[in-house]
Amino acid sequence: MPHDSPRLSAQADHTPSLDAMLADLEELVTCESYSADHAALARSAQVVAAQGRRLLGASPRTLVVEGVTHVQWTFGMPRILLLGHHDTVWPTGSIRTHPWSVEQGVARGPGVFDMKAGLVQMFHALASLPSLDGLCVLVTGDEEIGSGTSRALIEDVARQCSATFVLEPSAPGGALKTSRKGTSLYEITVHGRAAHSGLEPEKGVNAATELAHQLLALQGVADTVSAATGPGTTVTPTVMRAGTTSNTVPARAELSVDVRVPSPAAQEEVDRLIRALEPQLPGARLEIGGGPNRPPLDRDASRELFALAAGQAARLGLDPLLQMAVGGASDGNFTAGVGCPTLDGLGAVGDGAHADHEHVITAHMPDRTRLLAQLVGALR
């Protein structure tokens, strides 16, 4: 049920306090939330809910879908969606090798940049508003693995709204992300036939060798699609597995494929070509799973909101805003895909998402918080 819109008298005079935001950020980062660890996600969702309850003045709705925990606040009839995620790519225990720290204006820790600092900035921005009427805040728990349990929820809310602000981290230099490639994810399984590799290898069908043929075939898919629909498509084999023992012809091999596309036409053509792959070895069989995941986020979906953001930044005396097209996808692809104007990359300024050098430049946090508050206020 929607929450009543609170009059945030206690927070009406709230201004971004870097110390307060860093305290909240430490709490989020040190509560690990690896996407595949549902227990960790549940603990993280409790921390997210508590911070939101304190700063927004209302308790959220907690949704558990197939073990994944999402957190949602709805104030009145939603017209603006503020979207983020609390899961990270960092396996549980990474806090020991990548501890939380703030040194010389740089905050580090698992998920600090992607995207826990964005959640902190969002909560503190909304805490400065006198009313939250018309807002929906959605923090999902599976963005990093394709949003399988949250996509329907995201799209349902976005269809009701006239704008979505995504608190994913910024592009280099603090640029907002006004265009994103779409993504497709495939699992190719090769079925062969086992045999003793020393006594009678000729009786086997080597799934690993067949997989090598498919790797070579995939190299040409991106070139074919780019020639047909325009440049920018990438088809990247990632995780491979084959075989059971060193003296057995592999009966099974598996390959994960990551695809990035600049247009719906490219996404459709890649799908057609991958599903048309044929085995090259007699007796081998291919099984192809997966498919398109996120549609591309076209620049037109961000054009008006970026212009608004640039104007609000100027009013606040901030540096001119930059915009950038990026290859990575986010849940903003879903909101734009259902027709909701979407502006992405409003979160932290820093670098190193998913990498050892992941970090946030803390001096930018108050200004990004002020900008988001100003943006939300300008649309209400």
pLDDT tens-digit series, residues 334-351: 999 999 999 999 999 999
> 33 with 151, same domain?
yes
Higher pLDDT, 11 or 87: 87
Q: Return the pLDDT at 275.
A: 98
Residues 133 and 202 in one domain: no
> Of the candidates 260, 292, 324, which is a domain's last residue?
292
45 lies in the same domain as 119: yes
Residue 10 has pLDDT above 50, yes or no: no
171 and 50 in one domain? yes
Would you tell me the crossing angle of helices 18-30 and 365-378 to the nearest 10 degrees?
A: 100
Residue 75: per-residue pLDDT: 98
pLDDT recorded at residue 16: 83
Token pair 């009406």: residue: 12
Neighbouring residues of 159: CB distance < 8 A, sequence distance ≥ 6: 338, 339, 340
198 and 77 belong to one structural domain? no
Q: How far apart are CA 202 and CA 321, in angstroms?
A: 64
User: Is residue 58 included in any domain, yes or no?
Assistant: yes
What count of Cα atoms within 13 Å lies in the side-chain half-sphere of residue 11?
A: 23
In this prediction, residue 102 carries a pLDDT of: 98
CATH number of the domain within which 62 lies: 3.40.630.10
Per the domain annotation, does 206 fall within a domain? yes
pLDDT band, residue 40 (cuts 50/70/90) = very high
378 membership: H or E segment, kind and range: helix 365-378
Query: Does the pLDDT value for residue 49 go beyond 60?
Result: yes
Q: What percent of the chain has pLDDT over 70?
A: 96
How many residues are present in the chain?
A: 380
| Stretch 27-38: mean pLDDT | 98
* Three-state secondary structure call for residue 126: helix
Is the confidence at residue 333, as pLDDT, over 50?
yes
User: 162 and 26, same structural domain?
Assistant: yes
**365-378 and 303-315 helices, crossing angle to 10°:** 120
At 31, list the tokens: 């509560």
Residues 192 and 315 in one domain: no
Q: What is the pLDDT of residues 362-373, one digit of tens each?
A: 999 999 999 999
Q: Is the pLDDT reported for residue 260 higher than 60?
A: yes
**pLDDT computed for residue 53 by the predictor:** 98
The residues near 176 (Cβ < 8 Å, ≥ 6 apart) are 170, 302, 306, 309, 321, 322, 323, 324, 343, 344, 345, 346
Give the type of residue at 98: H
Query: What's the chain's average pLDDT?
Result: 95
Domain boundaries, position 227: 182-292
Give the whole-angstrom CA distance, residue 170 versus residue 350.
7
- Same domain for 361 and 214: no
The verdict on 288 and 301 lying in the same domain is: no
Looking at the predicted structure, is the pLDDT value of residue 13 above 50? no
Shared-domain flag, residues 261 and 314: no
pLDDT tens sequence across 157-201: 999 999 999 999 999 999 999 999 999 999 999 999 999 999 999
CATH of the domain at 241: 3.30.70.360
**Is the pLDDT reported for residue 2 higher than 90?**
no
Number of domains in the chain: 2
pLDDT tens digits for 199-231? Answer: 999 999 999 999 999 999 999 999 999 999 999
Distance between CA atoms of residues 69 and 52, nearest Å? 15
Q: Is the full-model pTM beyond 0.75?
A: yes
Residues with Cβ within 8 Å of residue 223, at least 6 apart in sequence: none
Binning pLDDT at 50, 70 and 90, where does residue 8 land? very low
Report the run of H or E that residue 71 belongs to, with start and end. Answer: strand 68-75
Same domain? 27 vs 107: yes
b/e code 335-365 from CB counts within 10 Å (16+ = b) = bbbbebbbbbbbbbbbbebeeeebbbbbebb
